[in-house]
Amino acid sequence: MELRVLGASGGVTRAGATTAFLLDQRVLLDGGTGVGSLDLAEMERIDALLLTHAHLDHIAGAALMLASVIDRRTTPLTIYAPVEVLDTLKAHLFNWQIWPDFSVLPTEEQPVLRYRPILPAERFEIEDLSIEAVPLSHTVPSFAYLIEREGRGFCFCGDTGPTETLWQRINERGDIEQLFIELSYPAEEAEIAKVSGHYDLTGLAQDLKKLEQPLTVQLMHAKPGYEQRLIAAVRENPVLQTLKVQHCEIEQRIDVL
């Protein structure tokens, strides 16, 4: 199964769009500005948005996409996220002030958007994918998703700084082959990373030592301007040198399941 990188940056520039990954053409993992690279037909095929958290860089593209496809879709797009994330979307985004409430448009009976709250520790399904949410450590509720199909799994993380439960669950499960995780800042920017709830290189390297099995680490969410420094620093880091590490690139297609 193919995971297409639509956006993997921690900010917008001409060269970069924010977090949005498309799994098998139908499931969107976060809905950042990368969604804007899709054409209408591709947008119409997306049935599910699995959302890690409610920050703008992870939802802006999906919110705008709803307006683009509203008169073309016959079935709703479902946003899957824990209740606290959905509550934030309802109160602060789809509230008729910032953007329309698409859960009652074009009609209340057949809306273009619906919500599917995920309960704590619930294992849920989207088509043939079996998914588990794990809480992370960010400035707002943020989650990782462990996504499994036919015994193979990968983990897609929302924004986070140093965290605990994630590493326990990956080690307990043993089926996670790839980890998509943020590295926003180089080690020299540890203070900004800390106050903004993100990983800097030192923090991520320390946490990756908790992994008990080898897996491929796919890095994303570099803040604009730090990309080249991060690539060089990752290459020289003794912990990351022991792992297979890649940097997600826009329009890259990654085999995941």
Residues that bind Zn ion (CB under 5 A): 55, 57, 159
What is the rounded CA–CA span in Å between residue 1 and residue 254?
8
Nearer to Zn ion, 160 or 237 (CB): 160
Nearer to Zn ion, 15 or 41 (CB): 15
Contact 37, 45 (CB under 8 A): no
Nearer to Zn ion, 141 or 153 (CB): 141
Question: Smallest distance from the beta carbon of 186 to Zn ion, in angstroms?
Answer: 17
Nearer to Zn ion, 153 or 161 (CB): 161
Question: Smallest distance from the beta carbon of 143 to Zn ion, in angstroms?
Answer: 11
Question: Smallest distance from the beta carbon of 106 to Zn ion, in angstroms?
Answer: 31
Nearer to Zn ion, 148 or 199 (CB): 199
Question: Smallest distance from the beta carbon of 160 to Zn ion, in angstroms?
Answer: 9
Question: Smallest distance from the beta carbon of 80 to Zn ion, in angstroms?
Answer: 18
Helix axes of 227-236 and 201-208: crossing angle, nearest 10 degrees: 40
Question: Smallest distance from the beta carbon of 88 to Zn ion, in angstroms?
Answer: 12
DSSP strand E in 35-151: where?
Answer: 48-50, 77-82, 113-118, 123-126, 129-135, 143-149
Tokens of 158: 């929302």
Could you count the other beta carbons within 10 Å of the beta carbon of residue 45?
13
What is the rounded CA–CA span in Å between residue 139 and residue 129?
29
Sheet arrangement for strand 143-149? 123-126, 129-135, 143-149, 152-157, 176-182, 216-220, 244-247
| Residue the block writes with tokens 């917008």 | 12
Give the contacts of 14 (CB within 8 A, at least 6 positions apart): none
What is the rounded CA–CA span in Å between residue 106 and residue 172?
45
Question: Smallest distance from the beta carbon of 108 to Zn ion, in angstroms?
Answer: 32
Nearer to Zn ion, 30 or 148 (CB): 30
Contact 69, 75 (CB under 8 A): no
Nearer to Zn ion, 30 or 132 (CB): 30
